[in-house]
Structure 1
Amino acid sequence: MATAEAAPPRLQETTCWFDAPKDLTVDCYRLDVAETRSFDRAVGPGKVLSLPVVIIRSDTGKEVRHPDPVIYLAGGPGDGAWLDRDRIGWWWDFVAATDWAHKRDLILFDQRGSGLVEPRIDCPEVEHIALDLLATTDEVAATQIQQKAATACAKRLVGEGFNPGAYTSRDGAADLHDLFAALKVPAWNVYGLSYGTRLALEYMRNYQQDIRSVMLDSVLPPEAQFMEDDAATTERAFRMVFRACERQAKCHDAYGDLESRLTKLVQKLNMSPRKVSRPSPEGDGVIEVMIDGNMLISRLFNLLYNRADIEIVPQLIDIYDRWLEPEVGHDLDTYIADYVGREDFGDAMFMAVHCQEEVPFNDMAAAMAAYRRYPLLAGLAVGGEAGSFAATCDSWRAALPAQPLRASDTQPVVSDLPTLVLSGLFDPVTPPVYGRMAASHLVNGFYLEFDGLGHDLLGNDACANRIADLFLDDPATPPRDTCLGQSAPPDFALPVK
């Protein structure tokens, strides 16, 4: 088996595994990197990982072409960059609609532990219990199921020669530097989304010399107490929807006091959960879904990421409150399909990052107690995802060889690199306060908020991309456009009749 010492980083061009549009020039590569870096030898030399790289070339017919590419860092952690055959088409549409992507090469790659990386750590043990968890409201039993799966996955990965401790933001930043050196570009622009902003900030901390400018979209700064903040962040996200509905006459007239209705519904379902049978997403038979208040909160929370889904949240609350059975069933089918997950998502990468960089540096007792401050979320104080995930992380780490925890990974990133920081006011998971937190340490940072929008601004909003275009052309100048003042609040859907 090749080892980290025997295989220096190597970039090799390869035949693309998908068909690209005729009007685009697309090149595909594989980058070999050491799984275990020299700065972190907790467990042997590890494997050599092959990361897929896709470069969408700037338009050859355009007069304005720049030598500094943009590299995209996906979120998660564990989310692939959508390079597989089924999802790469999203990028064709994005490039067609985005001016800045016509001026510069756009570099896409799957981070270690995600997407089409070979070999890739993964946790089928965690994926296989997803439907079992939907069938129970017993938080103790659910946590035990998750702990058992995490333990089994961790032990198997170690037995297969992987080093799960080598899947951190610091390791990912080193991969980026290897790719930068292999491509031999003069400097590049880094575009991070969600967890990708955490990776971008770590890259800024360690390899500032590679970077011309940075765009941080929906920011997760390393100094944020992500788990401890979850209660306040979640409550704020719902409150944004409640207040927006109150201010919109047709929404308020249709739904009344939405906050009171949802709070009472959540408490009622926590006291008396409802069992629903739905077709199995695997196509064989039916599955049982237990709907309690905590599950409904989780379902609604997942809809707060983008504007189109935000606009149906009041309608969905009304559907569950009136228990419109066909509509409830249809919504559950959508939820189950998302819940079961995607093949390109790296569950092991998700565990590795959170269990090394988040959970150990958060006071989980305080995190759980914080839910009691909010009537809507009080049920999560005795159950819910945060507590079970913390216990699962304990099991994950206990099944691995001892891994070093670096407190330095949680320190703010101070930099004078030109940085565009974008936040959506309705973002439920990386709220504007996180964007402001990161920007406060960036000497040449430009912070902008967008009303009516949630997570992933550049992936959803034309104005954000106009601002990005201005910034990339001149990173030293504050980017401004009249579109910033033209945003509108969500246009909420009316009740189902």
Structure 2
Amino acid sequence: MKKSQIAVLIVLAVLYLVVLCGLGFAVYSTTTRTPDQPQAATLPTPSLTPSPPPTPTEETYNPVFEPGECPFDPPADVTVECGYVIVPEARAGDLDDTIRLAVAVYHSASDNPAPDPVIYLTGGPGGQDVAQSDYYYDKFAAQILNRDIIFFDQRGTGLSEPMLDCPEIKELYLQNQMHAIPASEREPRYTETLMACRDRLVSEGANLAAYTSTASAADVNDIAGALGYERLNLYGISYGTRLALTVMRDFPTLVRSAVLDSVLPVEARSYLEGDNTIEQALNVLFAGCAADPKCHAAYPDLETVFYELVEQLNSAPVTVEALSETRPYTTTVDGIEFKSAIVWGLYVSSLIPIVPQAIYDVRDGDYTMLGYTMSLPAWAYEDISLGMMASVNCHEQVFTITPEEIDASLAQSHQTASVGLNDVYGSGQELFSICEQWGAAPFDPLDDQPVVSDIPALIISGEYDPTTPPSYGQQAAANLSHSHMFEIPGQGHAPSVGEASECVLSIVAAFLDAPTGDPYRTCIANLESPQFVVPSESATGEEITFEPFVNQEYEIKGIVPSGWMDVGLSFYNRHTHPLDIVQIGMQTSLADKEEWLDWLSTQFQRVGLDGAPQFAGEREANGFIWTLYTAAYKGNPVDLALADADDTTMLVVLLSNNDEHAALYERVFVPVVDALLPLE
């Protein structure tokens, strides 16, 4: 049995690749493909006949909207209506057995709003939406000005009732990462815990077979009816695109247009295709770095180094420090988990520029970035309804294939083998057994067929996306006769809410205004390939300028590097990328120098320095004698300067990388020390 072998089922397998906002949908498994090839086997030939909707039941019901308080502070000058839409849990069953779907409607401030709103369909499956809808509204509102925007928590998620969460699995996963579970106990513990969640949800009245994309598509139709809208514009991201396609199939007259960002086609067999999509993205990375002169010079033979590290770590795992939402922990990382961490970096657009450096850092024994990316799955658990995810993925992914197909797929795996499923459950039959025990809905042939439609659709794919690659966009577009597809350069998953969101959302807005026309696309030509981070470049290349700062709390004034981000407590981070550790801080305290040093040794960055600071000399500036010290934090250089000023002690701290330390010391630390003064 392998280390995580079993039961996390969709849980571990999918959450390797779930983004912090809950946008992700995992894909795994087999054969080799180059990044520019279309998705294997079979882009289906479009039919002249649209996909048939499911046969309706004879019984009827009326969905009802119940107004309620918003679970967030609505933005100023925006009218937001919150509440619940009441619908049957199983429309083919007892119609009096209902569930409550949490809804938030942001009304347009336009004097003449369009009658057809945008409804946002989040990913996962299992992601929540309403509680964080203000974040997405801020993203969308600047471009989508003349339409209401509807957010809702899909059945079984977020604030909808019931919420099919499995906190038992989340805690067990963290315990496993912290090595609190003996290897011999992992499989039975995961199985028992997952089934305990099932038993609890069933005892609370949940019908786990009623949570499918088809049921959620009917929810979208009912939400529109309950709120009084005759037509909708769908806006799906990741799994939300599969839901959007299902709505287009089942309720075509409801849909005016569809925006599909990071497409998951209904017929995609993610558990058989995942190694293909991952390898596509890795090949894009290796080619992108090789084509960039600075990246190629700094990280030569990136592909070779990467795969050698996978083999090396599988033979000799390393220990890294990670952080859950509640506490830090240490975990071991083997080649499979290292690969997953790198895929995370390609998934999140803002992390792509540092992925080559992260690979070389691991080669050189620096696991700082690796520890951060290993933290992401634990964080993602907090926003995902794992029970709903299990019901949907068992029904729509596992039951559409056979155990034999999974085993054959795993047997063919080569370079990207084992990224997910075969490290989780061991065999296809084990996965099927888990899904059957869970109680998911059985296979429905309609959920294995391409959606064919003439509804106008805008398809958006990220060049580096490892889970829903551009080939998936092409696959969906082949069956959507009035679709336009755009591949966004340099981006990973969900480009419309990523680093290129301003451009992508301008395309979305133009499409919504005229979905049957030729969409605006000019801004794509201005998007650049990733600006890969070369470690020493920012310290020795561009000129570092300074700007004055005053901090009334610490009663000091001086200079800080221009453009560095104020992160609070008079510390400034360079922030060239999300994991940039370089920062400078200036403070004062009533503590004397020895008390300062003792505190820093145990409390710096909440965990303390690697050891006691070492005396490094003195420096005179502006009439003050600064005592200089050197130290380290997680292996990275820390420079300290302390000076007495009347009844206080002034402090300057620089945290830097090893390869940039000398340059940043001279170009940042020394000028900041020389300029720091107490307020008069």
Q: What TM-score do you get using the length of structure 1 for normalisation?
A: 0.88
Per the TM alignment, residue 263 of structure 1 is displaced from its structure 2 partner at its CA by 0.5
RMSD: 2.7
Structure 2 counterpart of 1:398: 437
Per the TM alignment, residue 407 of structure 1 is displaced from its structure 2 partner at its CA by 1.5
Structure 2 counterpart of 1:255: 299
Q: Distance in 1 between matches of 2:238 and 2:166?
A: 22
Map 1:280-299 onto structure 2 (within 5 A): 281-283=325-327, 287-299=329-341
Which of residues 2, 7, 15 in structure 1 aligns to 2:69?
15
Q: Distance in 2 between matches of 1:345 and 1:321?
A: 33
SS in 1 for 2:101: strand
Per the TM alignment, residue 379 of structure 1 is displaced from its structure 2 partner at its CA by 4.9
SS in 1 for 2:74: coil
Map 1:261-280 onto structure 2 (within 5 A): 261-276=305-320
CA distance 1:366–1:344, shift in 2 (3 Å)? same
Structure 1 counterpart of 2:466: 428
Which of residues 176, 192, 209 in structure 2 aligns to 1:133?
176
Q: Do the aligned partners of 2:464 and 2:490 also contact (CA within 8 Å) in 1? A: yes
Unmatched runs of 5 consecutive residues or more in structure 1: none
Which of residues 323, 326, 350 in structure 1 aligns to 2:365?
323
Per the TM alignment, residue 141 of structure 1 is displaced from its structure 2 partner at its CA by 5.8
Map 1:177-196 onto structure 2 (within 5 A): 177-196=221-240
Structure 1 counterpart of 2:161: 118
Per the TM alignment, residue 432 of structure 1 is displaced from its structure 2 partner at its CA by 1.1
Q: Distance in 1 between matches of 2:149 and 2:411?
A: 45
Which of residues 74, 90, 94 in structure 1 aligns to 2:135?
90
Structure 1 counterpart of 2:121: 73
CA distance 1:377–1:143, shift in 2 (3 Å)? farther
Q: Distance in 1 between matches of 2:428 and 2:332?
A: 20
Which of residues 339, 351, 356 in structure 1 aligns to 2:395?
356
Tell me which amino acid in the other structure corresponds to 2:204: E
Structure 1 counterpart of 2:485: 447
Per the TM alignment, residue 260 of structure 1 is displaced from its structure 2 partner at its CA by 0.6
Tell me which amino acid in the other structure corresponds to 1:484: I
Q: Distance in 2 between matches of 1:47 and 1:390?
A: 34
Q: Does residue 1:307 correspond to 2:355, yes or no? A: no
Q: Distance in 2 between matches of 1:46 and 1:340?
A: 37
Structure 1 counterpart of 2:523: 483
CA distance 1:280–1:230, shift in 2 (3 Å)? closer
Which of residues 373, 384, 388 in structure 2 aligns to 1:345?
384
Relative to structure 2, which stretch is displaced further, 175-184 or 141-150? 141-150
Q: Do the aligned partners of 2:101 and 2:160 also contact (CA within 8 Å) in 1? A: yes
Q: Do the aligned partners of 1:164 and 1:352 also contact (CA within 8 Å) in 2? A: yes
Per the TM alignment, residue 466 of structure 1 is displaced from its structure 2 partner at its CA by 1.6
Structure 1 counterpart of 2:48: none
Structure 2 counterpart of 1:223: 267
Q: Distance in 2 between matches of 1:429 and 1:280?
A: 24
Write out per-residue CA displacement over residues 93-141 of structure 1, whole angstroms, 9 at most, x where no aligned residue: 2134x32x21111110000111111221221222121123324699886
Per the TM alignment, residue 464 of structure 1 is displaced from its structure 2 partner at its CA by 1.6
Write out per-residue CA displacement over residues 426-464 of structure 1, whole angstroms, 9 at most, x where no aligned residue: 111011111111111112122222221121122122222
Which of residues 201, 210, 216 in structure 2 aligns to 1:172?
216
Per the TM alignment, residue 484 of structure 1 is displaced from its structure 2 partner at its CA by 2.5
Q: Do the aligned partners of 1:368 and 1:382 also contact (CA within 8 Å) in 2? A: no
Q: Do the aligned partners of 2:391 and 2:441 also contact (CA within 8 Å) in 1? A: no
Q: Distance in 1 between matches of 2:409 and 2:183?
A: 18
CA distance 1:434–1:17, shift in 2 (3 Å)? same
Q: Does residue 1:415 correspond to 2:457, yes or no? A: no
Q: What TM-score do you get using the length of structure 2 for normalisation?
A: 0.65
More helix as a share of residues: 1
CA distance 1:288–1:390, shift in 2 (3 Å)? farther
Q: Does residue 1:35 correspond to 2:75, yes or no? A: no
Q: Distance in 2 between matches of 1:448 and 1:392?
A: 36
Q: Does residue 1:234 correspond to 2:278, yes or no? A: yes
Per the TM alignment, residue 337 of structure 1 is displaced from its structure 2 partner at its CA by 5.2
CA distance 1:470–1:277, shift in 2 (3 Å)? closer
Q: Distance in 2 between matches of 1:70 and 1:222?
A: 21
Structure 1 counterpart of 2:5: none
Write out per-residue CA displacement over residues 250-297 of structure 1, whole angstroms, 9 at most, x where no aligned residue: 1111111111111011111111112346566534xx644121011111
Q: Distance in 1 between matches of 2:510 and 2:407?
A: 43
Per the TM alignment, residue 69 of structure 1 is displaced from its structure 2 partner at its CA by 0.6
Largest Rg, 1 or 2: 2
Q: Distance in 2 between matches of 1:228 and 1:291?
A: 25
Percent identity between matched residues is 36
SS in 1 for 2:108: coil
Tell me the matched-pair count.
476
Tell me which amino acid in the other structure corresponds to 2:138: D
Greater relative contact order (Cα 8 A, min sep 6): structure 1 or 2? 1
Per the TM alignment, residue 49 of structure 1 is displaced from its structure 2 partner at its CA by 1.5
Q: Distance in 1 between matches of 2:183 and 2:474?
A: 35
